[in-house]
Amino acid sequence: MKRITVLGAFACFAAAVAGCAESASRTAVSTAPERSTLPAFGSEGELSAYLVGLAREQRDLRRRESEVSGNVADAMPEQAEAATFEAPAPVAAQDASARAAEGESVTNVQHAGVDEGGIVKVHGDYLVMLRRGRLFTVRIGGNALQPVSAVDAFGPDIDPSASWYDELLVSGDAVVVIGFSYERGGTEVGLFRISPDGQLRHRSTYHLRSNDYYSSRNYASRLIDGKLIFYTPLYLALNEEDPFAGFPAMRRWHPGAERDAFSRILPATRVYRAGRPVNAESGLALHTVTVCDLQTEEMGCEGTAVLGPPGRVFYVSPGAVYVWVSDWVRRENEKGAESMVYRIPLDGAGPSALAVRGSPVDQFSFLESADRHLNVLVRSGADGDGMWHGETTGGSTSLLRVPLDSFGDGGATASAERYRPLPTPAGYTFQNRFVGDYLLYGTGSGWGPPEQRAHATLYAVPWAEGPAAELPLPHGVDRIESMGGDAVVVGSDGQNLHFSAVRLGARPQLAQRYVSAGASQGELRSHGFFYKPDGRDGGILGLPIRGEGVPGYAHLRQGSASILFLRNRLSRFEELGELAARADGSGDDGCRASCVDWYGNARPLFLRGRIFALLGYEIVEGRLDGGTIQEARRISYAPRAVVAGRRG
């Protein structure tokens, strides 16, 4: 699905959600013992023969479907489109305060030490921002607040009109932009150099053949110890004559670059399959994890891929990437997921797998815990987090808890006793988060208008063992975040935005609540929130907000009205105030690419004892004075408008 096609559909999003139906649960049973890792293909010939066999299965399946339906064109349309890579018409985390290697982080990450691609990063004395197809730097060192550099987020001689530039990472003096180009064949990786004085210079651009990685909740890229790690799905329409035609490959971009310039990054010996037959009926995908070295002039990348069905959720712990894939089948009017979870170590060791049931909702459904277990919240009616699949989910709810030693060649299935049945909340916009020793979850509002909810339930489950606690709330569960050793739940009652503090001791309990009257969330992504501890039991949180009743999808086209700051003191909230955007905005910025804010545009920033609000093209600095936050100064780093065509 192309992202732009959904823009007109958000107005009726809530109605579509209401039409979803819950699905029944399914139970897993144990099977044969497993080997230590998945089997890899031994040679190009072995992999080629295997793929040709699957291609014949798909061909026969299409023929049978054609005989039944009389419509060959309807057979597997998504996979057929993915393999051609023809250019379409141009289209209009667990600890939140991790330290980056070079200083403080401004990203609300799921795991300390695992940076996630976002829209703002820090490099020494400079903020680096990615917005609407451009990169910017602003100097903050020496108590400054001064725009320095602005460049296109793509290389010279690149037509960006059918591309999205989504995520930014910084490692040393390397600035990395992750995007997706429908025209040039898949994931686009732009490398830039940032100088000691904050100037940006394009270094090189690479293309990785893939399908669109976008998720409304997840992030495609991670940075661990200077290594760029990203996940890309590639849906396969297998060709008997050339089974490798659509395989993951990379090229360095230059003007006039042709498709034959792609070189495969995935040898047969790095392609793995589970020790059980692959069902080709619902489509096939190569789920590829690519690790790249950013410190060399020529970016070198190595890929590891697992072959499986297309539905997916992926999660990155400090030591491994997990990819959960699901094959949806119907049996006697019961819909369930025949699933497999793959574990791909980041040290280059071979991947392993375990057969499972159901599907996680998003990456926050996972926790690789210190006791060497994988803990995953699964639902029988979830369908992964690709595109917007994570926004509507249903069915029964369970907590899967398995030792890492359970993973092997994929021949074994997690036994029924590994699933702990959990209470299932009413509603379809589902939020979940592991915080400390607890799994927290509930339902609320999402991309549509805030729901009118006078009550909801937050469930708090000790993930190691113990019963679930039910905490009643006078609002929906729209966001769950870590707040030191405790948690905060943010949600709407339809008119107001509530912040409920949850103390996570031996017995979870609600500690305090703050209500922002006539407000709604300004950002839905996890990076929109940040909590800055300033002691064992206290800190300051920031969250973008808008006016009453504004739908969640407004961040695609509109800036947030302001960022609200609250002080948490022993789980009791004190309002510090807001830093607001100017009503006149930034005017015409001459946007040429990525003119929809898929990743939002507002962030609270806490750096070196200073507080900032990133609001579109504005950065507002605040000053704490007598228990309130006051505007100290603001700048605009908006580019001057240029004569250029703009996409709708």
First and final C-alpha spacing in the chain = 18
What 3-state class would DSSP assign to 47?
A: helix
What pLDDT band is residue 121 in, cutting at 50, 70 and 90?
very high
Q: How far is CA 628 from CA 172, 538, 545, 564, in A?
A: 36, 16, 18, 11
Closest CA to 185 of 251, 128, 119, 237: 251
Per-residue pLDDT tens over the stretch 26-50: 233 334 444 488 989 999 999 888 8
Q: How many Å apart are CA 648 and CA 646, to the nearest integer?
A: 7
What pLDDT band is residue 74 in, cutting at 50, 70 and 90?
very low
Residue 3, pLDDT score = 58
Q: How many Å apart are CA 55 and CA 58, to the nearest integer?
A: 5
Residue 613, pLDDT score = 97
Closest CA to 447 of 553, 367, 548: 553
Per-residue pLDDT tens over the stretch 280-337: 666 778 888 888 888 777 888 888 889 888 778 999 999 999 999 887 554 434 444 5
DSSP string, 458-516: EEEEESSS-PPEEEEESS---EEEEETTEEEEEEE-SSSEEEEEEE-SSS-EEEEEEEE
DSSP bridge partners of 289: 231, 304
What pLDDT band is residue 84 in, cutting at 50, 70 and 90?
very low
What does the pLDDT average to over 430-455? 88
Tokens representing 331 are 């049996």
Asked if the model's pLDDT at residue 646 lies above 50, the reply is: no
Least confident window among 119-133, 226-240, 371-385: 226-240
Residue 21, pLDDT score = 32
Q: Are 31 and 412 a contacting pair, CB within 8 Å?
A: yes
626's CB contacts (< 8 A; 6+ apart) are: none
Q: How many Å apart are CA 470 and CA 264, to the nearest integer?
A: 51
Asked if the model's pLDDT at residue 204 lies above 70, the reply is: yes
∠ CA 215-216-218, nearest 5°, is 55
Mean pLDDT of the chain: 82
Q: Are 522 and 515 a contacting pair, CB within 8 Å?
A: no
Tokens representing 201 are 């210079």
Asked if the model's pLDDT at residue 447 lies above 90, the reply is: no
Asked if the model's pLDDT at residue 602 lies above 90, the reply is: yes
DSSP 184: T
Per-residue pLDDT tens over the stretch 221-240: 999 988 999 888 888 776 66
Least confident window among 188-197, 380-389, 596-605: 380-389
